[in-house]
Structure 1
Amino acid sequence: MQAQVKWVGDEMFMGISESGHTVVMDANGGKLGPSPLENVLLSLGGCSSVDVVSILEKARQDVQGCVVEIKGTRVDSVPRLFSDIHLHFVISGNNVSEKHVERAVALSADKYCSVALMLNKAVNITHDFEIKEPV
């Protein structure tokens, strides 16, 4: 897998993925695009969500929605690394089993999500979930 990041002016950078997709990053507090560290949180949330939805679908759960709210806490010293990241999964669907959601979230965190497994070496990652019936 390869990627390229190109400086486009001021504190703006354009990331180009191997598959040809573009992401604009703004190192100036994320005013015009997500910052690089915001992209780390988005990548973690995306990777984890893919796993959770896939596992729940394989378990024949009637999943209608999956939102993961991510909170990253950074240290006060430079470099301002993440010390803790918490993922809160909100799963909606009809008669979705708590046991299946708990298992899916745990499997993603401990076995399948490449982003979480890499970050886990330096960051305390926690997770929880709630299940909502669709409206």
Structure 2
Amino acid sequence: MKATIDWTGGVSFRATSGTGHSVQIDGPPDHGGENKGPRPMELLLMGLGGCSSFDVMSILQKSRQDVTDCHAELSAERADAVPAVFTRIHLHFIVTGRNLKENLVKRAVALSAEKYCSASIMLEKAGVEITHDYEIREAD
């Protein structure tokens, strides 16, 4: 896996993945940025959410669950000192569908956390406390 980061002025950068997708990264105005993109640590948090959501949906689809929506809300705490690393992250999944089986949703979230989500497992090995929970909603 590869990526490139190109400075675009001030404290703004364009990050491009090895597959050719790019995202603008920028800092807040009080650090010389123009708020034109997420901060690097926000991208890391979003990457974790995307990785885990990918796993949860894949597992639920393989379990033949009729999922109509999967929404993940992430909240993170960071150290007060530099480096301001993540100390705690919580993922809350809201899974919507028809006749979803709670044991399968619970299993999908657990398997992502414990076995499949590379980002989550890597951050935990670095000392970040990561917790997960879920709620199930019936589709209209």
TM-score band by shorter chain is over 0.9
Give the letter for the 2:135 counterpart: E
CA distance in 2, matches of 1:107, 1:27: 35
CA distance in 2, matches of 1:118, 1:9: 32
Q: Does 1:110 align with 2:121?
A: no
CA distance in 2, matches of 1:132, 1:18: 37
Match of 1:41 among 42, 45, 53: 45
Match of 1:51 among 30, 55, 63: 55
In structure 2, the residue matched to 1:21 is 21
Give the letter for the 1:72 counterpart: A
Give the letter for the 1:132 counterpart: R
User: Within 5 A, what are the aligned runs for 1:116-127?
Assistant: 116-121=120-125, 122-127=127-132
CA distance in 2, matches of 1:52, 1:70: 15
TM-score of the aligned structures, taking structure 2 as reference length: 0.93
Q: Where do 5+ consecutive residues of structure 1 fail to align?
A: none
CA distance in 1, matches of 2:100, 2:118: 26
Q: What is the root-mean-square deviation of aligned Cα atoms in Å?
A: 1.1
- The Cα offsets for residues 42-83 of structure 1, whole Å up to 9 and x where unpaired, read as 100000001000100111111010000000101111111110
In structure 2, the residue matched to 1:134 is 139
Structure 1 counterpart SS, 2:13: strand
Q: Where do 5+ consecutive residues of structure 2 fail to align?
A: none
- The Cα offsets for residues 86-108 of structure 1, whole Å up to 9 and x where unpaired, read as 00000000011110011000000
The percentage of aligned residue pairs carrying the same residue is 52
TM-score of the aligned structures, taking structure 1 as reference length: 0.96
In structure 2, the residue matched to 1:86 is 90
CA distance in 2, matches of 1:64, 1:81: 35
Runs of 4 or more, structure 1, over 4 Å off, are none
